Amino acid sequence: MTIKVNKFKCGYCGACVSVCLPGALELVETWIEVDDSCTSCGICAKICPVGAIEVSR
């Protein structure tokens, strides 16, 4: 289970990282990395200010 971040839309703000309960996300410098603790809950996709995240199940 994971998500897809559209790096062309993402503004690397880190908002998604703050709402991810299992801590699957990391804002490195100008990109988001996802690890395999992602449960595809969709919260990050919901709150991303620019809608850059798509959940894949």
Residues that bind ligand SF4 (CB under 6 A): 3, 5, 10-16, 19-20, 22, 24-25, 27, 32, 34, 38-44, 48-50, 52-53, 55
The set of residues, in sequence order, having a beta carbon less than 8 Å from that of 40 and lying 6+ positions away, is 1, 2, 3, 55, 56, 57
Using CB under 8 A as the binding criterion, the count of chain residues that bind another protein stands at 22
CA 26, CA 30: separation in Å to the nearest integer? 11
31: contact with another protein by CB under 8 A: no
Residue 26 identity (one-letter amino acid): E
Binding site for another protein (CB under 8 A): 11-15, 17-21, 23, 26-29, 43, 46-51
